[in-house]
Chains A and B, each alone.
Chain A
Amino acid sequence: MTEAYLDELLDGLVPPPVVRADWADVLGRARRTRRGYAIVGAFAAALVMVPTAVALGGRIAGWFEGRPAPPAVRQDFVQFNAAMQRMSAYLAKSGFARKTPQAIAARAHGVLALRTADGPVYLWAAPRRGGGSCWLLQLGSLTNAACDQTWPSSERLTFSTFGGTLISGQFIYGQALGAAASVVVNLSDGETTKLPVVEGLFMGAFPKHVHPLEVAAYDASGKRLVAFGTLAGGTAQLSPAERRALSRVSTRGTPYPLPVGDPFVRHLIAGGYERTAVLLATRGGRNYFRLPLTNGRSAFGTGRVGLASGVGLIVGGGPARFPAVDNPLLDMSTVGATANKRTMRFLHVGGIAADGVARVVVKDREGRGLLWLPVRDNVYDSGTTRVPAGAVQLDAQDAKGRTVARVPR
């Protein structure tokens, strides 16, 4: 065995990570640890504060709503407009005629404010040119902006979650139109949070380890107007048959003897893999495999057609069991940075889905569907279709259109 071979094995053990420098997070941690005890307490307080604010009749918004936005926030809206124009130009170049929204930055004003452990979070709004509104969530130097998807809007309730490595919790914010007076968020940890709707917008905070199962808008009399739900982690509402369908991959496939002469395959076999894999399907120049193990379990893998080892990427065997009702998608997509190397997005989408997954929807940051990939033979793949810029989320939907899993979770 040569040193080069040892290098190769070590390389495979911990491949070079795709990293995004996060110096702001380092600085935040350096500050936080100095007052660590205060942070824990403060974030807990923030979680309590949201429903309390509603109980107090929306006091949380009272001192903030209508306050003219400072120049920095107006400038953020200007930058958002510029980004939208760049996107518009890009889409036009790609053959898609789409008019992107523009905010009237000069009329930006406050809507809601929330005190959290990470500092105050502000939701600002600005009228959208041509009707509707745009909004901007601000936490320190972090901002996330969006506008009505369409106007007049056919959607009465839209929302996004905002989290990530820079902050200790997560935020949900969005738009509830019509007569919506409040929004109720059911979280995966069993908690329910009621949020006030101000100028058609709402915002709330919740811990990092949970996610919303259902977001519903209510009018002032308590009548439920509209709701959106995701079943991820909340599959109790499914029938037993639906649960079973999310827990199996039934494509039989065809036997695929692995090339035992290949060094990688030799070590797979030495590591407990069977010599014959099961080819589930070939899509867009990629083979998708089930890889039986000698202990009776299976992993899954993929490899470009013509790859010497047959399989190049193996997934499964980790702590999250697949397929399972709360884990019906084994995603093998390629994620990378966009041209400006600042934003991660999906470059190619593909993977294996349980029987109960009918399609995978590729979405942008605002939850807009960009690409719909059917699941056939338990495989989905974007093939040669270019994954649109801005693709940052995958929703696995069942045949009824319910989201049963999300990547990233």
Chain B
Amino acid sequence: MVDELEALYRSRLPQFRRVAAAIAGDRDAGRDAVQEAFATAIRKRRSYRGSGTLEAWVWQIVVNAARDVRHRERPEPLTVLDPSANGHAPLLPLELLTERQREIVFLHYYADLDYAAIAAALAISPGTVGATLNAARARLRQALQEVKT
């Protein structure tokens, strides 16, 4: 099981890091969240029942770890994630989205997960994922149109 976790970690690390950084609001915090999440997965590996995919189970842990960091550190919304490495000031008004909407957007765009995988990671139904994602896109589109006009 630890070998499978390591294989997952090595194959999907950029996606885990990117989503965690987006949720945590900080690149370093995201990195830390992923490391902690995998450490948690190793410790709790016997609680994995095999009812879903191992990846979905790990995504749940990663998202929770990143949420914990965000709630603990409470960064300002739309803070530049890492100005020295990233540079582009975020222009998307993500603060208009709910936490659930943001997480689904991040998992969809940054990890390229399909609805079923996102649903498993967030313990919600695939239908809810689709509806939430559509609502989030609509909100962002509307906000950006408002900015442009």
A interface list, Cβ under 8 A from B: 1, 3, 6-7, 9-10, 12-17, 19, 21-23, 25-27, 29-30, 32-34, 165, 266-268, 270-271, 299, 301, 312-320, 330-332
Contacts and interface: CB of A to CB of B under 8 A. Distances in A.
A12 B90 contact: yes
A1 B18 contact: no
Contact of B137 (A6, A317, A332): A6
Given A10-B109, A267-B91, A314-B88, A21 B83 contact: no
**7 residue pairs, one from A and one from B, having the closest CB atoms:** A318-B83, A29-B39, A313-B87, A30-B39, A30-B42, A12-B88, A26-B38
Interface residues of B, number: 45
B120 interface: no
A384 to B, nearest CB: 23
A19 B86 CA distance: 14
Q: Secondary structure at chain A's binding surface: helix, strand, loop or mixed? A: mixed
A16 B88 contact: no
B35 A22 contact: yes
Contacts of B27: 14, 17
Contacts of A299: 89
Interface string B83-110: 1111111111010000000000110011
Given A30-B42, A34-B43, A23 B10 contact: yes
A7 B40 CA distance: 32
A271 B43 contact: no
Given A1-B145, A266-B148, A316-B83, A12 B42 contact: no
Nearest to A311: B87
Contacts of A266: 148
B79 interface: yes
Given A21-B10, A318-B79, A13 B39 contact: no
Nearest to A20: B13
Interface of B: 6, 9-10, 13-14, 17-18, 21-22, 27, 30-31, 35-36, 38-40, 42-43, 79-92, 94, 105-106, 109-110, 137, 140-141, 144-145, 147-148
Give the most central of A6, A7, A15, A26: most B CB within 10 Å: A26
Contacts of B39: 26-27, 29-30, 32-33
Nearest to A27: B42
Q: Secondary structure at chain B's binding surface: helix, strand, loop or mixed? A: helix
A271 B35 contact: no
A29 B42 CA distance: 10
B14 A16 contact: yes
Contact of B84 (A165, A267, A268, A331): A331
Given A9-B92, A13-B94, A34-B43, 11 more contacts: A1-B145, A9-B91, A13-B91, A14-B21, A17-B21, A21-B13, A23-B9, A26-B38, A27-B42, A313-B88, A318-B82
A17 B83 contact: no
Nearest to B136: A6
Given A12-B90, A17-B27, A271-B89, A7 B109 contact: yes
B35 A13 contact: no
A64 B27 CA distance: 41
B89 A15 contact: no
A260 B117 CA distance: 40
A266 B140 CA distance: 17
Given A16-B14, A17-B17, A27-B42, A301 B87 contact: yes
A34 to B, nearest CB: 7
Give the most central of A19, A268, A320: most B CB within 10 Å: A19
Contacts of A319: 79
Contact of B9 (A26, A165, A270, A330): A26
Contacts of A13: 22, 81, 88, 90-92, 94
B21 A6 contact: no
